[in-house]
Structure 1
Amino acid sequence: MHKTLLAGAVIAMFSGQAAAQSWVLTDTQGTEKGDWRIDSRQLKLSGEPFTLEQQVLHGGKQEGSKVLTLTSKNGLTIALSPTRGMDLLHVNGHGVRLGWDSPVDEVVNPAYINLESRNGLGWLEGFNEMMVRCGFEWTGHPVTKDGRIYTLHGKAGNTPASKVEVIVDDQAPHEIRIRGLLKENTFKKARLETWTELRYVPGADSFTLHDVLTNQADYPHDYEIIYHSNFSTPILEENARFLAPVKSVSPFNDYAKKGLENWQTYGAPTKDFDEMVFNLQPIADSNGKTVAAVVNSKGDKGAAIEFDTRQLPVLTMWKNTDTLKQGYVTGIEPGTNYAYPVTIEKEQGRVKQLQPGQSAEFTLTYSLLKDASAVQKVEERIKTLQGETKINVEQTPIAVE
């Protein structure tokens, strides 16, 4: 009797483990799939059809870069780069794009980027992603302190993944997980490792990012993270709107003061418009969850990000409504901190720390709002979260670089 129960438990355990198929595409132990492709038909999976394809790029500064694309016929097409920190290049679905047109028109291999060039602004030479992880060892504007250069937005976005794997659930609805391991390991400095994970159910209009950052060192270490999420046409246009439940808004610097009066609305592409940044303090529900969105002028297209303020307590809104060729874009940026240099963020108490062996998790859900109904649902949720709280519009930046 006991043997039968034990055998049943063992079978159940192994059955659970066999409920998904997985493929390792890259591993520092010697695995490199290069160009690779599978689809739901090959896997003999019913339900919403999908394709997963990795391509190795050639030519120019994208030589050797990899793009992994998940295509759902009736849902979203999501492209990410294992070479560039597992960051999202663009997302498309239902005639709506999440992403933007950067002057950087290649998926630049980090081997061709010097982060310390342009006085620490070298990061901009590869910046074209829909979502780039700014962090984890540090983030924010560049600064030099005690002879050390903290370059713009850290190193994660220009760190190739040490391991990449794809997992597809055998059972409906066949959730797909794309996982990548980022290592920020430097002798005598840091040993931070992050497992990134993108989760998507074919046919859905939303996907989730779940990252786990671990301090693998024997000493405590600081960390910062900003999920720099960027949107442009067809969502961004004249009279497009930014939506989020917030307690307060303040200008990042004196230049942004000029935009406080209409900080939640956008202009048409405008030559010589310099970037404006606003620091926001979001309002969350009883579970710490909140949502921010950008919607077009008609209110029938948009993008929304749900995040947990217990993990990512602050929100940055970036306006860069310059010309289309220069980069017409806005950013919704949940984070542990604002985009000031790490020295300022530490002084003001927003830099976090992990003890040896300790981990921090970050979960964000991105939704493509394909029609007026989807936009309305998000607007109603934001209005509910805002409630009777009046937004405190502060005239003075909280810090000066």
Structure 2
Amino acid sequence: MTLEFSLSQNQTKSFTLTSAAHNIELGNWEISNHQLGIEDVLFSIQQICLHGGKQEGSRLIIIKCPDGLTITLSPTRGMNVIEATAPGIRLGWDSPVKEIVNPTFINLQSRNGTGWLEGFNEMMVRCGYEWSGHPFTDTNGELYSLHGKAGNTPASEVIVEIDTLFPYEIKIKGLIKENTFKKTDLRVLTELSYIPGSHSFTLHDRLTNHADYSHPYQIIYHSNFGKPLLEKDAKFIAPVKEISPFNNYAQNGLDNWQTYREPTKDFDEMVFNIIPYTKKDGSTMAALHNKSENKGVSIEFNTKQLPFLTLWKNTDTEKQGYVTGIEPGTNFAYPMTIEREQDRLKKLHAGKTVEFKLRYNALLDRQAVEITKKEITNIQGNQETQINQKPLAQE
């Protein structure tokens, strides 16, 4: 299957960087606004092939805009977003994993199904789509590894689209396949869109079941942030209808679940399950801002597509990985067996497609943070937050 797009030859320029169907791989590649005859905004897009160590053969696509964001994503790693930066702000984190690890060097089933961690360093990694939560072994003895396969699946097709008319929207599109004989045939058309000069970007994914049988699916958009946003007394904000600890350890953090510690040795991690309040159309928002409230990030999503939100607080030492995750999803991060038992496991019928859309906003100053806080406050209104003291399940 190749990616097929309807293009206007006069308005949109399209470049195929990778195509398994047509045996295409451009390797190192670059284009700029000047080459496209655009002179009122500066930007460039390049693909870089990496070498050495476990990143041998990995590829990066980098969108650079001096007046906006620099966005880095990896077609080798499921079209995951590595980071997005602007002067004074970074959406991303510092993992002990420094290389963009080629999935060839990762055994997802190692370490009792947690081999996924050996490549984990992205700002946004897709957890799914066959399954997305913690590892488990089914009744047939088959091990389902941590967070699924999508984030470690190289894209079969990669296309760059650039609109040559204002506002010059850039789209990076990919095709991720999860197909196994006798098991599944799920295919995801991923899309990252960015308007040069802006401080936001959008992800729009379309998941289709190409099999003749219905199949369960799960997706968690594991979105991760460290310094400079994460620090002592930084704060997570969202319109929260209901929150519960993921496990017994997280019960100890319910009193201050919205705020963060400084890097703390032996902190481990605390996870919270959240059901958000929304606007009438199902749209909602979650955000993180620093202590001074002059930098932050927000994520907009719709609960008709992604009804649940996971908050992951991993304020361990900096070398160990000082990071928090804001994770919209179709489910919580429990093993799929628990999600099925508690009726959070969705099913995609043969030939059907579901869509997921998220918008990431870099909040560069106090005004942007204040606008976000007001919007979240407006969604919450006078509605109370129900705090459940006990976990929804025990693994």
Query: So what's the TM-score if we normalise by structure 2?
Result: 0.97
Distance 2:368 2:39 in 1: 27
- Residue identity opposite 1:19 in structure 2: Q
Question: How many residues get paired?
Answer: 388
Mapping for residues 36-75 of structure 1, pairs under 5 Å:
36-75=29-68
Post-superposition offset of 1:16 = 4.1
Alignment partner, residue 124 of structure 1 = 117
Matched, 1:107 2:100: yes
Mapping for residues 98-247 of structure 1, pairs under 5 Å:
98-145=91-138, 146-247=140-241
Matched, 1:265 2:263: no
Give unpaired runs (5+ residues) of structure 2: 1-5
Alignment partner, residue 18 of structure 1 = 10
Distance 2:92 2:231 in 1: 14
- The more displaced of 183-192 and 14-23 is 14-23
The CA deviation string for residues 199-220 of structure 1, in whole angstroms up to 9 with x for no partner, is 0000001000000000000100
Post-superposition offset of 1:42 = 1.1
Post-superposition offset of 1:95 = 1.4
- Residue identity opposite 1:158 in structure 2: N
The CA deviation string for residues 115-136 of structure 1, in whole angstroms up to 9 with x for no partner, is 0000000000000000000000
The CA deviation string for residues 198-245 of structure 1, in whole angstroms up to 9 with x for no partner, is 000000010000000000001001100000000000000000000000
Equivalent residue for 1:78, pick from 66, 71, 92? 71
Alignment partner, residue 253 of structure 1 = 247
- Judged with a 3 Å threshold, the aligned counterparts in structure 2 of structure 1 residues 150 and 44 are, in CA distance, closer, same or farther, namely same
Distance 1:60 1:328 in 2: 24
Mapping for residues 285-300 of structure 1, pairs under 5 Å:
285-300=279-294
Distance 2:132 2:341 in 1: 14
The CA deviation string for residues 86-116 of structure 1, in whole angstroms up to 9 with x for no partner, is 0000110131000000000100000000000
Q: Contact 1:47 / 1:172 at 8 angstroms: preserved in 2?
A: no
Q: Greater CA radius of gyration, 1 or 2?
A: 1
Query: Which secondary structure does the structure 2 equivalent of 1:42 belong to?
Result: helix
Equivalent residue for 2:386, pick from 374, 381, 392? 392
Alignment partner, residue 337 of structure 2 = 343
Query: Which secondary structure does the structure 2 equivalent of 1:228 belong to?
Result: strand
- Residue identity opposite 1:54 in structure 2: Q
The CA deviation string for residues 265-302 of structure 1, in whole angstroms up to 9 with x for no partner, is 00000000010000000011011100000000000000
- Judged with a 3 Å threshold, the aligned counterparts in structure 2 of structure 1 residues 49 and 394 are, in CA distance, closer, same or farther, namely same
Query: So what's the TM-score if we normalise by structure 1?
Result: 0.96
Tell me the percent identity: 58
Distance 1:16 1:178 in 2: 17
- Residue identity opposite 1:133 in structure 2: R
Give unpaired runs (5+ residues) of structure 1: 1-13
- The more displaced of 121-130 and 47-56 is 47-56
Query: Which secondary structure does the structure 2 equivalent of 1:365 belong to?
Result: strand
Query: Which secondary structure does the structure 1 equivalent of 2:376 belong to?
Result: helix
Equivalent residue for 1:311, pick from 298, 301, 305? 305
Distance 1:283 1:349 in 2: 20
Distance 2:367 2:227 in 1: 20
Distance 2:330 2:37 in 1: 42
Mapping for residues 368-379 of structure 1, pairs under 5 Å:
368-379=362-373
Alignment partner, residue 97 of structure 1 = 90
- Judged with a 3 Å threshold, the aligned counterparts in structure 2 of structure 1 residues 43 and 17 are, in CA distance, closer, same or farther, namely closer
Matched, 1:27 2:19: yes
Distance 2:249 2:303 in 1: 28
Alignment partner, residue 6 of structure 1 = none
Alpha carbon RMSD of aligned pairs, Å? 0.9
Distance 1:390 1:32 in 2: 53
Distance 1:306 1:321 in 2: 24
Query: Which secondary structure does the structure 1 equivalent of 2:47 belong to?
Result: strand
Distance 2:214 2:52 in 1: 42
Q: Contact 1:22 / 1:168 at 8 angstroms: preserved in 2?
A: yes
Distance 2:196 2:327 in 1: 26
